[in-house]
Amino acid sequence: MTTAPLAARLTRVQGPLFFPVTAYGPDGAIDLDAFRAHVRNGVDAGAAAVFACCGTGEFHALTPEEFGDCIAAAVAETAGEVPVVAATGYGTALAVRYAKIAEEAGADGLLAMPPYLVVADQSGLLRHYTELAAATSLDVIVYQRDNAVFTPETVVELAGTDGIIGLKDGYGDLDLMQRIVSAVRRDRPEEDFLYFNGLPTAELTGLAYRGIGITLYSSAVFAFAPDIALAFHRALTTGDDKTVNRLLDGFYVPLVELRNMGRGYAVSLVKAGVRLEGLDVGEVRPPLSEPLAFHVKMLAVLIERGRALLEDVA
C-alpha cells in the first residue's frame, strides 16, 4: 500500500508539486512540443513531481486519445527524474478507462478526481474509489472536493484499501481534516497515509495546513513563476515564517484576489501566466474563457512585485 515507490518518492520531496497546463496550438489541437517544453521547464526548475492533465491541465476538456498522448509525453520528458501522476475521473467505468490509459502511457500514479455530477453517499464513494484502485497497478491519490467529501470513517477505509496512498484536500475544512488525520492515525497506525493541500493557490493556506501536519501541496504558481513558488516552499518547509508572510502579503493574497475576479481563473489565469513568461501554450478550451486583458496586465505587474520581494529577502 503506502510503502509503494510513489509514496516514498513523494515523501522525499524537495520542491513544489507541479501541475502543468495543457498546451494547444493555434488550431486548438494539442501541442505536444510546447507541452513537453513546459514540463521540462518545471522539472529543471525543481519540481518534485509532475501531475499531468489534472485540474490545471484541463482534464475535463481532453479526449481519451489526447489524454494518453499528453501523459506519454510527460513520462518521456521527465525520463524518471520525478514521478508523473495522471488525473482520472468521471463515473467509475470512465475513470477506470482513463486509469488504464495512464498506466499504458507509463504514469507512476493517479489523482482521482470526484465522480461526475452525482452526489453519492459514503458507501457509493468508497465503492467507486475501491474499484478504481483495483483496476490498475498504479497508486491512487483521492481528491476530496465538491461532490466527493468524506467522513473520517470513510478515509480510514480508503487508507486501508490496497493501492490508495493518500488524500488531496480541495475542500478546505480544517476541522474535518484534523478529524480525518486523527482517525487514520488512530485506526490505521501502520499506514503512512499521505495528505496534500489541494486548494486553489494552496500557498495561501500553507501555514494552516502545516499546523495540522500537512506539508505537501499543489502549486499552480509554480507553472508560471517557479522562482517565487520555490522560495515560498523553502520558507514554509524550513520555518522561515517571516519570508512566508512577506510573500503572502505582497504576492499570494493579491493573486487570490485577482483569481477571484473571474470564473475559471484558477486555470485560465495560470495559463495566461505561462504565456507571459514566454511559452505559447495557447488558450483554454471551452467551457472556460480567457481572462480579461486588464486582468492579465495585473498578473504581469503582480509577478514583477513577487520577484521584487525575492530580491528584498535575498
Catalytic residues: 143, 168
Distance CA 234, CA 280 (A): 29
